[in-house]
């Protein structure tokens, strides 16, 4: 039997046929709320079931227990608020119990929010609880400072998908990934979350995980990320060349995860795992400093947070991996769990060092990255200069 979605039902808030036509006609006369990039990602994921059991943006009945206890109002584990903010003056014109048209930057109506509640919230409290910091240098804190002071909660009905210019072949909804898994006969699927190019350490833990299951889903996040993160087009080219040359085609798949990064470390690790369960995955790789940024989280905090939940509640099996590297003495990839040698035997390059090499057109050691990936990154660095 395939793994159940979180909460037991794969949500679908995409309207079709006469229902869609009726609401589209109504939407033209509704009050409008423009969505930012993160909210557009969340809208799409709610509608397609990637964020099951959510059917819309959170009301206070879910928001407050998520922030304070990492659970929805029903008691189901959930760690990241999925919210729609508005400036106080704009929210005043929206009535609870009414419908609101949700639009993009081109003022195109994408969906309707069935507004159940408007509520105030404490930005600092949310940051401290969810991000574990109120430091203005944290990208999640910076985002919160740009939002309005009121959250709008209620179910959504999707009329039109947000537009995507690229990678249509890789944009698969949870229903589609589940169908593909069933067609291929894959029963045990491990997902790998990434917002960076895959280097040899990542490849090593992916292939270790692949030894335990039927298939690997490389599921890169292609929603909004920090400005200094490597662009999605470049990363996708890296993933494609790796899968073409170094992964078994009958046991691996590349697909896009359309979420925006929160950089919430441990809490985001749980969130990422739950979402991959909705896509039909049974296992999830949790590496070192998952979804981390800077020095805000401990190296393995994203591992420890899973201990705060009953495994049956999360439902997807986490696979925990320590920091991995190439050991010259072992003559192979290893981790602190398997290698007895000191760091002087390990091939380790800082992000700064790798970037300097790539800018100079130098390919980092084979033990660190595949040369095909390095060439893609070098070409991107040249174009950016």
Distance, in Å, from the CA atom of 333 to the CA atom of 202, rounded to the nearest integer, reads 10
Residue 270: Cβ-neighbour burial (10 angstroms; 0-12, 13-18, 19+): buried
Distance, in Å, from the CA atom of 335 to the CA atom of 333, rounded to the nearest integer, reads 7
Structure tokens at 371: 């040369």
Question: Which entry of 38, 172, 178, 195 is annotated as an active-site residue?
Answer: 195
What is the β-pairing status of strands 150-158 and 85-86? antiparallel
Structure tokens at 51: 């964020």
Residue 164, SS3? coil
Cβ contacts of 68 within 8 Å, gap of 6 or more: 129
The values of phi and psi at residue 236, to 5°, are: -60, -40
The values of phi and psi at residue 197, to 5°, are: -60, 150
* DSSP-derived secondary structure letter, 128: I
Distance, in Å, from the CA atom of 130 to the CA atom of 63, rounded to the nearest integer, reads 11
Cα–Cα–Cα angle for 213, 216, 219, rounded to 5 degrees: 145
Cα(first)–Cα(last) distance of the chain, in Å?
52
The values of phi and psi at residue 269, to 5°, are: -60, -45
Structure tokens at 295: 């020095």
Distance, in Å, from the CA atom of 52 to the CA atom of 263, rounded to the nearest integer, reads 21
Residue 75 backbone zone (phi > 0: left; psi -120 to 50: alpha; other: beta): left
Distance, in Å, from the CA atom of 42 to the CA atom of 332, rounded to the nearest integer, reads 41
Question: Which entry of 71, 132, 175, 196 is annotated as an active-site residue?
Answer: 196
**CB contact at 8 A, 269 and 286:** yes
Among 265, 85, 233, residue whose Cα is nearest residue 164: 233
Rg of the chain in Å (alpha carbons): 21
Q: Is 195 a catalytic residue?
A: yes
Catalytic annotation, residues: 195-196
């Amino acid at each position: 039997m395939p793994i159940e979605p979180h909460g037991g039902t794969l949500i679908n808030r995409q309207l079709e046929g006469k229902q869609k036509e009726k609401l589209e006609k109504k939407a033209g006369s509704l009050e409008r709320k423009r969505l930012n990039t993160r909210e557009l990602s969340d809208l799409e994921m709610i509608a397609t079931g990637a964020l099951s059991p959510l059917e819309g943006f959170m009301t206070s009945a879910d928001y407050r227990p998520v922030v304070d206890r990492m659970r929805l109002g029903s008691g189901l584990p959930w760690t990241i608020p999925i919210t729609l903010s508005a400036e106080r003056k704009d929210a005043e014109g929206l009535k609870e119990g009414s419908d609101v048209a949700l639009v993009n930057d081109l003022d195109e109506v994408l969906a309707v929010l069935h507004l159940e509640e408007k509520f105030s919230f404490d930005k600092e409290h949310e940051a401290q609880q969810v991000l574990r910091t109120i430091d203005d240098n944290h990208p999640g804190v910076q985002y919160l400072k740009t939002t309005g002071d009121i959250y709008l909660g209620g179910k959504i009905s999707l009329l039109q998908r947000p537009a995507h210019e690229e990678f249509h072949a890789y944009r698969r909804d949870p229903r589609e990934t589940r169908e593909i898994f069933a067609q291929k006969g894959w029963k045990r699927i491990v997902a790998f979350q990434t917002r960076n190019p895959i280097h040899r350490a990542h490849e090593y833990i992916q292939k270790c995980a692949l030894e335990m299951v039927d298939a690997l889903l490389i599921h890169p996040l292609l929603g909004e990320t920090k400005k200094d993160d490597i662009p999605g087009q470049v990363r996708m080219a890296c993933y494609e060349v790796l899968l073409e040359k170094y992964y078994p085609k009958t046991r691996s798949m590349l697909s896009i995860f359309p979420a925006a990064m929160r950089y919430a470390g441990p809490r985001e690790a749980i969130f990422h795992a739950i979402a991959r369960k909705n896509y039909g995955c049974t296992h999830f790789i949790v590496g070192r400093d998952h979804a981390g940024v800077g020095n805000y989280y401990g190296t393995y905090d994203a591992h420890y947070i899973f201990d705060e939940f009953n495994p049956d509640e999360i439902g997807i099996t986490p696979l925990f991996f320590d920091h991995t590297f190439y050991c010259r003495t072992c003559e192979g990839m290893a981790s602190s769990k398997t290698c007895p040698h000191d760091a002087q035997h390990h091939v380790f390059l800082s992000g700064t060092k790798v970037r300097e090499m790539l800018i100079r057109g130098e390919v980092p050691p084979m033990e660190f990255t595949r040369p095909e990936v390095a060439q893609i990154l070098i070409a991107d660095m040249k174009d950016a200069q």
